Amino acid sequence: MKNKKSIENIPIIFILLSFCGAFLTDDSRNIILLVITSLYLLYLILSTNKIVIKDIEVIVVLFIILILGIFTTLIHINDYSLRNVIRDIFYILNPIVFIWTGIMFKYKYEDRFDIFRIIVYIAVISSILNLLQIVKEPRILQVSSIYIFRNYIDVINAYAVLIAIVLLFTNKHIKNGCNFDIFKLNLFRILCIISFIIDFSRTNYICLFIILCPFILPIIRKNIFKVRKIIYIVILILLANFIMPDLIGTLFDKMIRSITELKASINWGDPSEIVNNWRGYEIYKAKELYFEGNWFEKIFGYGLGKLIPVGVFSELVGVDASEGGITILHNGYYMMLIKCGLTGVLLYALVYLVGIKKMIIRIKNNLDLYRSKLLLGIFVGFLVSTYVTTGIINNRTDFVACFLMGYLLYLPSKDILEITNQQKYKEM
């Protein structure tokens, strides 16, 4: 009976951690979420009396990045604010702890409850909360700028919503999980898609496409692609365009301008160019700082706590100019180039590449096929999107994304054996 009670409490703990950072400011969020998750990770370790070291290659690479960053920081320790150093350490610690918690969670509880179903419920609750923000302020539907719209709407658990859309449109391929009756399924799809659209995140749109690719491509090759699921998305986009024509038009303009926004070769003497192409300006200043360094700083970086000087324009991202610069860039690889040099960039890419290789091997061997395809899409999505966002090393590291990485990464040896035996039985 005691075991049954603990199983029923698992989703509650997971949901609380998922929503923990939604209503907190960045610094307090990182501290609170990391402390709570670390305590829960400690509980999982003590209750199982084991530290799982299987399938932790991604964590190992992240840990190497942390050690490299701390080592380089010690050389410049007198040059940086202790607050900035600690803050950068937290940014790297977050994905390490979150991913490891997912692995330990899977080890302790295996598949005693439907993790995908819980993520869908988290996404649906988040979508309702996101839509309620519009209900409270209906006038925001009349604004003509995405930037103004996003100032009114603070979308929560955006990545959980993204994953839920994937799950809700591929649920027939999930073995023993994520089953809903037709009414709930369609209702949840509509809620999540609307919430996904009003986030106006180009990065998430690209990630959704990438994550769906491992599922869509085999279907297209077999020429049995079902148009009905595409119709859902098309209708909702048309509906959004009818309700918010100016916003949707601005979004398409922004999508087209995405490439030029990332260019670092614009005339940065014009303040309006900096405002309109902020991400490109970040890259420009990062490059400038990088090439000012000596050979050691180019290879191993300036260390954690180093700020990228962008002058008064730091206020565009909510950082006071008196801070002396920004610690987080939209481009995660350039951020790592400053903190840990060329070595850090290669290691950061390796975090994703290790996961991608691991999932490709599983898919080739038909091991946990659905989950392997899902995680392959997630890793590829992060590999690409880290060029335009910070990636999993972030000031707002997504708990659901990292936890799910760990949960899907861990594949018990007995499961591998069981799947292998089933395949041999089918071949007989």
pLDDT at residue 259 tops 50: no
Q: Is 20 exposed, middle or buried (0-12, 13-18, 19+ CB in 10 A)?
A: middle
Give the closest residue to 170 by CA, choosing from 108, 213, 207, 107. Answer: 213
Q: What do you get for the CA distance between the two ends of the chain, in Å?
A: 42
Give the rounded distance of the alpha carbon of 27 from its chain centre: 18
Q: What is the pLDDT of residues 344-364, one digit of tens each?
A: 999 999 999 999 999 999 998
Please tell me the predicted confidence (pLDDT) of residue 9.
Answer: 47
Average pLDDT, whole number, for the chain?
A: 80
Question: What is the pLDDT averaged over residues 237-251?
Answer: 48
- Using 50, 70 and 90 to split pLDDT, how confident is the model at 413? low
Distance of CA 54 to CAs 60, 63, 369, 397, 409, Å?
A: 11, 15, 19, 23, 9
**Which residues make Cβ contacts (< 8 Å) with residue 286, sequence separation at least 6?**
308, 329, 331, 334, 335, 337, 338
pLDDT at residue 138 tops 60: yes
Q: Locate tokens 């420009």: which residue?
A: 284
Instruction: Let me know: does 375 contact 357? Beta carbons within 8 Å.
Output: no
Rounded-to-integer distance, Cα 389 and Cα 334, Å: 10
Largest pairwise CA distance in the chain = 72
Token duo for residue 146: 């995405």
Question: In the chain, pLDDT over 70 holds for what percent of residues?
Answer: 76
Question: What is the pLDDT averaged over residues 210-227?
Answer: 68
Distance of CA 425 to CAs 145, 299, 422, Å?
A: 59, 52, 5
Instruction: Let me know: does 113 contact 9? Beta carbons within 8 Å.
Output: no
232 sits in which H/E element: helix 228-243
Q: Is 324 exposed, middle or buried (0-12, 13-18, 19+ CB in 10 A)?
A: middle
Distance of CA 301 to CAs 239, 286, 293, 348, Å?
A: 48, 12, 8, 13
Secondary structure of residue 25 in the 3-state scheme:
coil
**Which residues make Cβ contacts (< 8 Å) with residue 250, sequence separation at least 6?**
144, 145, 146
Report the 10 Å Cβ neighbour count for 158.
19
Token duo for residue 136: 């409270």
Q: What is the pLDDT of residues 38-50, one digit of tens each?
A: 999 999 999 988 8
| Among the ranges given (27-36, 52-61, 207-216, 362-371), the one the predictor scored with the smallest mean pLDDT | 27-36
pLDDT at residue 339 tops 90: yes
Give the rounded distance of the alpha carbon of 391 from its chain centre: 6
**Which residues make Cβ contacts (< 8 Å) with residue 48, sequence separation at least 6?**
104, 107, 108
